[in-house]
Structure 1
């Protein structure tokens, strides 16, 4: 549940990331109808998802370096405006080729919005609430999975796939209104030169965190992507999948805020090690329950435990990244986001090899290994600043 007494502009950032998450995931449920309408194969239509994700992953760090000197308010409002226009145009796209181009534009705009939203939340937060403010931004993506995505798919089934893009544009437009009215004039890194803004690219601590985020994406999203196959193996069918996905989504929101509170209370290093380590243990335990054919209620408890750690990951990792690169936080955060999206792509590919090879029951164990490697990558100590002699 979202904490009370949040500033209006933070709610605006939540709505913005809700729109991004919906736009990213909802199209998966519209592919058959979209493919039929635009006269392409379903597989070809699926490239719309790949184009959005790859543009997002590649564009995030590049655009962060370019836009970091500019005020956060101006950047996020402009990017949201481009995102709205791209989605409205997608609803009117006459051909599949035009839609591909518009999805790339939307993905690039989404990359800017996401990086700027995290940077603005951290910059505008009180010193002892940075993790919780970052959690609100994360929660927008979480809520999209079990509200925006099903609602968008439902609207698309009633009114056609084009109406879903209009719905996403309306949500993003609402975010523009809230942010235009309330977002503080947070300055960018105006005094920093290009070399300083690029410093996170040369920071071993930042790059180790990006690797950790990538490995967390590989492990966590591999398990999530093949959850239906795991349930089919365990249950002999997928009738329980809607219940499990609802459970994962409902647990996700408070878990994101839990991650933020841990970051505020324990700092970046301790909080990230607790959450990443817990994630690895939960995956291994859930894998054991699946392999042993445990009763469904017990398996459900294991998946619930996994959900807590999976959704609590982002705030500690983002807070750690900001700690590691305070001179260019937007660039560093964008690298993390890029790492997550690349991890998403790798998760599907590696998971497919495992399913077709050793079998689907190996998925949670492979995922646990990936999270263990992430824990090792993230286990470095941040040097403490020297104190003056008394």
Structure 2
């Protein structure tokens, strides 16, 4: 918490530490999606079944409902460090999977703590940065998280050099263990949390239930097509267009890197234009970009994937800034985690819908494009049903209730 109207050295240092904590969360969360084709070949699993497996893995993130409550009760810092420790071990254990069920079990368990680490880091950043720069702060964290995802794509090009192929890349997930002692010494607790009360209640009070319901709908729809589209960005060029692993890796790294400024642009726009207009812009933009990626030819993959990354980055920044601002400090992590869980359910539904439509239509690209129409509905709901909180102090935007 700060009275300054800008990000000073202390804020930047905190964002750097939080970024380090969620850098590896990005790697662990994305590594299976990036390795979808080699995993499918090794375990003899076809594309539609892989979609269902990704949906099942996503279900693990529902554990954030418990972790969010614990974050409000026992502190943001403590839960962040614990989640980093556990997701590292579970992610590395995925390398031992010899069946699709085992892979889903390890990754599903890891996803719970990945989501918990991300949620705690987001709340700390919201509570500790100035109101006029909360969007930009989330953009900084988004870049760190996405660079972690990019590391998985980068290492895909060298998969043949890793012992065990895709298993070796999963084992890389153990690296965050080396940084836990450093993070324990350097990441402070949120001063809003230490100065507040920590009730045992698990449910959002009546005054905030309207916001919660609207937010759940936006997050459900907004994540349904997001996750479905990005889950197949490595699979699609290789299976439909015959691209090699190295060429696909180059697409994800280079075109994805070009789109990364979407985090910065999203942060700037949401701080200047407000949450509502920025959310609508990026939600619709991502839907259009996915349609171009999956319906266009080989020549459209580079520009459309760049647009996908840019719009997803902006959307993610806006929603991560917005969610914690909608609720008071005493239940901020709890309610934000409930919105995140809504997004998880949306992701599961989107992947399941893509799998079902892909099997029925015999065309995963068309299936994912149909799922992407959810982005338009999410944009309408975000603009009309959620309050504007950009630039408003948290205590004003979401005061405590008796």
Q: Distance in 2 between matches of 1:167 and 1:69?
A: 32
Distance 2:60 2:156 in 1: 22
Q: CA shift at 1:314, angstroms?
A: 1.0
1:346 aligns with 2:349: yes
2:313 maps to 311
Tell me the equivalent position of 1:214: 220
Contact persistence 1:91–1:162 (CA under 8 A):
yes
Aligned-pair CA distance for 1:361: 5.6
1:210 is displaced (CA, Å) by 2.5
Gaps of at least 5 residues in structure 1 are: none
- Going from structure 1 to structure 2, the CA distance change for 1:35 and 1:4 (only over 3 Å counts) comes to farther
State whether residues 22 and 152 of structure 1, in contact with CA within 8 Å, keep that contact through their aligned partners in structure 2.
Answer: no
**Where do 1:263-302 residues align within 5 Å?**
263-283=270-290, 286=292, 290=296, 296=299, 300-302=302-304
Q: Give 1:71's aligned residue.
A: 75
**Could you tell me which residue of structure 2 aligns to residue 329 of structure 1?**
332
Contact between 1:75 and 1:116, CA under 8 Å: does it hold in 2? yes
Task: Kindly indicate whether the alpha-carbon contact (under 8 Å) linking 1:215 and 1:374 is maintained by their aligned counterparts in 2.
Answer: yes
2:204 paired residue number: 198
Counterpart-to-counterpart distance in 2, 1:344 and 1:381 = 21
> C-alpha separation between the residues in 2 aligned to 1:95 and 1:367?
29
Larger deviation, residues 98-107 vs 374-383: 98-107
Tell me, in whole angstroms, the C-alpha distance in 1 between the residues paired with 2:281 and 2:100. 45
Q: Does 1:159 align with 2:166?
A: no
Give the one of 24, 29, 52 matched to 1:19: 24
Structure 1 CA distance for aligned equivalents of residues 207 and 121 of structure 2: 20
- Contact 2:153 2:249 survives alignment (8 Å): no
Give the Å deviation of 1:26.
1.8
Partner secondary structure for residue 313 of structure 1: helix
Partner of 1:354: helix, strand, or coil?
helix
Superposed CA offset, 1:121-168 (max 9, x none) = 111212221111112222233223321344278468522355445422
Q: Is the 8 Å Cα contact of residues 94 and 103 (structure 2) preserved in structure 1?
A: yes
The one-character-per-residue Cα deviations of 1:69-128 (angstroms, maximum 9, x if unpaired) are 222222212222233344566667899988766545433322321110111111121222
Aligned length: 373
**Structure 2 Cα separation of the partners of residues 121 and 254 of structure 1:** 19
Aligned to 2:190: 186
Q: Gapped runs of 5+ residues in structure 2?
A: 1-6, 390-395, 398-402
SS at match of 2:219: helix
Task: Provide closer, same or farther for how the CA distance between residues 107 and 348 of structure 1 changes in structure 2, counting only shifts above 3 A.
Answer: closer
CA change 1:340–1:144 in 2 (3 A) is farther
Give the C-alpha shift of residue 180 in structure 1.
2.1
Task: Provide the secondary structure at the position in 1 that maps to 2:162.
Answer: helix
Equivalents in 2 of 1:10, 1:191: separation in Å?
25
Cα separation, partners in 2 of 1:377 and 1:77, compared to 1, 3 Å: same
| The 10-residue stretch of structure 1 (342-351 or 89-98) with the greater mean CA deviation from structure 2 | 89-98
TM-score (norm 2): 0.76
Say whether residues 1:115 and 2:122 are aligned partners.
Answer: no
Aligned residues of 2:259 and 2:307 also touching (Cα < 8 A): no
Query: Does the residue aligned with 1:132 lie in a helix, a strand or coil?
Result: helix
Deviation at 1:15, TM superposition (A): 2.2
Going from structure 1 to structure 2, the CA distance change for 1:86 and 1:201 (only over 3 Å counts) comes to farther
Q: Is the 8 A contact 2:284 2:375 kept in 1?
A: yes
